[in-house]
Structure 1
Amino acid sequence: MTLSVQQRGNIFLIVVMCLLTLAICAPFSSHDWQRVVQISVAICAVLYGLCLPQAGRCVDRPTALGVSLIGAAGLVSALLAHQPLWALTELALLIGCGAIAVAFSQVRRNGDESLDRVLILFVLLLCLFKSAQYLHAGILAFTSGETVVNPDLLLSGFSNKRFYGQFQTFTLPLLALPLLVSNVARPARGAVFALLCVWWLIAISGGTRGTWLGMGIASFVLVFLGQHGRRWVAWQLAALVSGLLLYWLVFSVLATYLGIEISNAAADRLTTSLSGRGPIWSQAWNMILERPSLGFGPMHFADIANDIAAHPHQAILQWASEWGVPSTLCVIALVAWAGWATVGVLRDRGLLWARVDLLRLCLFASLVGALTQAMVDGVIVMPVSQLWLALVAGWLMALHVWRTPPVAPAPLLYKMWMMASVVAVGLLVFVAIRDVPGLTARSEHYMGLSNGHLQPRFWVQGVIALEKQ
């Protein structure tokens, strides 16, 4: 029996959602496991693309040409890098993320609005499960008899609480959608608002300042995008205030009553310090000055060992130091072009109450928040964040309202894209088969050589400087 295009898309969506659930909710979840899941999703995306006839337009031709130029420059930079295989792996990872975004876009375009409800239900269930995990861990911590409670230990599923915060930056804006839709029953609306309050409680207790910054900038932008944007901001502010109240009641009032001391409290994160980013930003800047045209090669910030991190925790500095300044300017131009086009659609349809328009607003807020956080954190590096960035961008592309009738992409560009996607996924699979059996030994070896601080990049031990002298 031959499956229809829509049925193939539904199967792809179900498989990906199962994989994402395993990546985020599994008790054995880790950075390396999440990277393997990401590669698995990329495989599914490429297979789905190969099963489709000639795909419809996801982006306009100038954007497609810009992406091609970035890829070509990245290929040249990778071939000239100190460790070409690792550089090509990073390029393959970028292409894999692009394939995932295109697949999500095609699934939504080949489906209907029911898929939007599936997406939001999936987000709600994920956040509900993670909230239940957090509350369960909190109850155990407060009833264990311990005199000190560390809120960081209540977070699970991620190798670092900042990675958890990145996931929240993507999902906090989406949780507000049921609160904006007019035909949602009041009990359901109350339940969603309660979940949003708990999700903000977790964001506050986690202390990830990048999440706070991202949501702040997203709120500032949405204030100027009509009444729906201002309603979104109002719901988020109400949930934030409620989350702050819950945090004070639990970690101050209740903790004091039980004689429990709170370590790593959220108030301790209210600083303007760079948390060690100064030296790695300086390293990235010096790399840019030394090789401004093509950079040191993708992933090659990790080829210069330091005691802090394998990436500079700043997306523009990372791209410029590894891919070169011209490539960085092209990326900034494409992001600005896409963002402005989305703003135009949001303004044109600002008076409409259709669910799809409200979802577009929430997706845009999610993207703005994540890109803001990428200025101070590794959003473009971590596997789960890369997956959610591809999901949000792909879904936004599918919902975009074109001012001119959509046309099929140039056949040559489409064939080149599919060929590049197949080769990229093949390389990622090769790297995974080569490395996964020895990942534990690799991490232990590095821990013995360093101060015991792992620096995630492709794998959780992301420093590649020791692999080829």
Structure 2
Amino acid sequence: MALTVQQRGSIFLAVTACLLVIGVCAPFSGHDVQRVMQIAIGLCAVLYGLSVAPVERLVDRATALGLVLIIVLGLVSSLLAHQPLWAFTEVALFISCGAIAVAFALFRRRGGERLDRTLILVVTALCLIKSTQYLYAAGLAFSSGEPTLDTDLLLSSFSNKRFYGQFQTFTLPLLALPLLIPTVSRPFKGLVFTLLCVWWLIAISGGTRGTWLGMGIAGVILAVIGPWGRRWVGWQLAALGGGLMLYWLMFTVLADHLGIEVVSAASDRLTTSLSGRGPIWWQAWHMIVERPWLGFGPMHFADIANKIAAHPHQAILQWASEWGVPSALCVAVLAWRGGWATVGELRDGAVSSERVDLLRLCLFAALIGALVQAMVDGVIVMPNSQVWLALVVGWLMALHVGRTPASAALPLAWGAWKTLSVIAVGLLIVIAVRDVPHIAQAQQQYLDTHDNLLQPRFWAQGVIAR
């Protein structure tokens, strides 16, 4: 018996939610598990996309042409790259993220406003699980009798605390949505606010300055947009104050009372240092100067070995050095057009208390925070962050109303996109099947000869230079 479109959507939602929980909350999770999770979500998105067809276009003609240009430039750059297979893999990753965004956009447009509640429920559940894990680990640490407490060890399921911070940059803005909705009961708002305070406690403890910077810039922009943006800022500042109070009580008052020395304190991160980014930024700049038009090839920053990282921790430098300056400019123009269109809708609904308008506000804050953090961190590299970026973009696409009547979808263009998505996800699956059985051995060999340091890119050992 054939499944209905609604049933297919329910299966897509259930499987995607389970994969997100595994990738973010499982104790055994990390960069490689999250990459496999991302490929699996990409496969689910492609299968869902094959089973439905858009009634109207998801993007306008200019955006579609821009995306085509980016992909064509990426393919040409890959052909000329030192390691074409890895370059094509990066292009496939970009296309699969697009497929995930398209799937979420189609899913939300077909499911309607009820799915907005589902999204926030999933976000709240993930934050609740992670907060419980953190507080449990803190309780064990304080009761262990050890003379020192390393706050970094309280963070779980991520290979690096900055990757955890990237996840928080996406979820901190969304977690505030129930606090903005007038019809939500006060007791429930109290529970959500408590959770938001704990979530800020973890953000402070993790010490990811990119998260602090991203949330700060997002707050400034939302404060200018309208009264609901200022209310969002107010709730975030109140929760930040609560998080600071909890941090002081736990890691100053309680730690001093028990005679425990706190290691990796948040105050240690209050610096203006680049944390080693200077040399890799210069490496990316020299790559741009040497090959400005098509770059060295997607993923090929990782083909030039250095002792710091397999990506430059700066989205513009990374894209320009690998894909070329024209491609980077095209990406920047598309991001600006999409962001400005969203700002227009936010201004139109500046005084609206409708749930959909408030959700758009929170999604936009998450997007701004992530894009700002991408200027100093690997948001466009890490698998979990790529999935959440695709989710946020896809949901905003679904909520976009537009100032002109929507055009009918073009069957030929939709068919070409589906074919390209299938090929891209197929390549990612082939790479995963090839590498996953040997990942542990390959990583150990690399660690034995490279100062016990992994440099994540596609996999946790992301250096592709031979």
Smaller-chain TM-score bracket: over 0.9
Instruction: Confirm whether residue 411 of structure 1 aligns to residue 404 of structure 2.
Output: no
Amino acid corresponding to residue 132 of structure 2 in structure 1 = A
Counterpart position of 2:135: 135
Counterpart position of 1:104: 104
Rounded to whole Å, the distance in 1 between the matches of 2:8 and 2:57 is 19
Q: Is the 8 A contact 1:296 1:322 kept in 2?
A: yes
Rounded to whole Å, the distance in 2 between the matches of 1:182 and 1:411 is 42
Task: Provide the secondary structure at the position in 2 that maps to 1:262.
Answer: strand
1:3 CA drift (Å):
2.6
Rounded to whole Å, the distance in 1 between the matches of 2:17 and 2:126 is 10
Instruction: Confirm whether residue 359 of structure 1 aligns to residue 359 of structure 2.
Output: yes
Gaps of 5+ in 1: none
Counterpart position of 1:307: 307
1:11 CA drift (Å):
1.5
Q: Is the 8 A contact 1:104 1:391 kept in 2?
A: yes
1:222 CA drift (Å):
0.2
Counterpart position of 1:254: 254
* Structure 1, 397-406 or 327-336: larger mean CA deviation: 397-406
Task: Provide the secondary structure at the position in 2 that maps to 1:223.
Answer: helix
Amino acid corresponding to residue 79 of structure 1 in structure 2 = L
Counterpart position of 1:79: 79
Task: Provide the secondary structure at the position in 2 that maps to 1:159.
Answer: coil
After TM superposition, the structure 1 = structure 2 runs for residues 14-413 of structure 1, keeping only pairs within 5 Å, are: 14-54=14-54, 56-413=56-413
Q: Is the 8 A contact 1:443 1:461 kept in 2?
A: yes
TM-score (norm 1): 0.98
Q: What do the CA deviations read for 1:326-347 (whole angstroms, capped 9, x no partner)?
A: 0000000000000000000000
Task: Provide the secondary structure at the position in 2 that maps to 1:224.
Answer: helix
Alpha carbons of structure 1 residues 59 and 31: separation in structure 2 relative to 1, 3 Å: same
Q: CA RMSD in A?
A: 0.8
Rounded to whole Å, the distance in 2 between the matches of 1:54 and 1:184 is 33
Q: Is the 8 A contact 1:10 1:107 kept in 2?
A: no
Amino acid corresponding to residue 415 of structure 1 in structure 2 = G
Q: Is the 8 A contact 2:54 2:106 kept in 1?
A: no
Rounded to whole Å, the distance in 2 between the matches of 1:247 and 1:352 is 35
Rounded to whole Å, the distance in 1 between the matches of 2:246 and 2:54 is 52
Q: Is the 8 A contact 1:6 1:107 kept in 2?
A: no
Q: Is the 8 A contact 1:99 1:421 kept in 2?
A: yes
Q: Is the 8 A contact 1:55 1:106 kept in 2?
A: no
1:448 CA drift (Å):
1.6
Task: Provide the secondary structure at the position in 1 that maps to 2:293.
Answer: coil
Rounded to whole Å, the distance in 1 between the matches of 2:308 and 2:337 is 34
1:396 CA drift (Å):
0.5
Rounded to whole Å, the distance in 2 between the matches of 1:457 and 1:377 is 12
TM-score (norm 2): 0.99
Rounded to whole Å, the distance in 2 between the matches of 1:272 and 1:413 is 48
Q: What do the CA deviations read for 1:125-163 (whole angstroms, capped 9, x no partner)?
A: 100000000000000000000010011000001000000
Rounded to whole Å, the distance in 1 between the matches of 2:65 and 2:412 is 11
Rounded to whole Å, the distance in 2 between the matches of 1:313 and 1:53 is 37
Rounded to whole Å, the distance in 2 between the matches of 1:160 and 1:66 is 34
Amino acid corresponding to residue 100 of structure 1 in structure 2 = I
Percent identity reads 69
Q: What do the CA deviations read for 1:90-126 (whole angstroms, capped 9, x no partner)?
A: 0000000000000000000001111000000110010
Rounded to whole Å, the distance in 2 between the matches of 1:321 and 1:410 is 34
Q: Is the 8 A contact 2:57 2:410 kept in 1?
A: no
Amino acid corresponding to residue 245 of structure 1 in structure 2 = M
Rounded to whole Å, the distance in 2 between the matches of 1:341 and 1:274 is 33
Rounded to whole Å, the distance in 1 between the matches of 2:34 and 2:399 is 28
Aligned length: 466
Amino acid corresponding to residue 220 of structure 2 in structure 1 = F
Q: What do the CA deviations read for 1:241-269 (whole angstroms, capped 9, x no partner)?
A: 11111101110011111100001100000
1:54 CA drift (Å):
4.7
* Structure 1, 284-293 or 7-16: larger mean CA deviation: 7-16
Amino acid corresponding to residue 222 of structure 1 in structure 2 = L
Rounded to whole Å, the distance in 2 between the matches of 1:25 and 1:145 is 27
1:219 CA drift (Å):
0.2
1:405 CA drift (Å):
1.7
Task: Provide the secondary structure at the position in 1 that maps to 2:224.
Answer: coil
Rounded to whole Å, the distance in 1 between the matches of 2:55 and 2:38 is 23
Q: Is the 8 A contact 1:211 1:373 kept in 2?
A: yes
Amino acid corresponding to residue 399 of structure 2 in structure 1 = L
1:55 CA drift (Å):
5.1
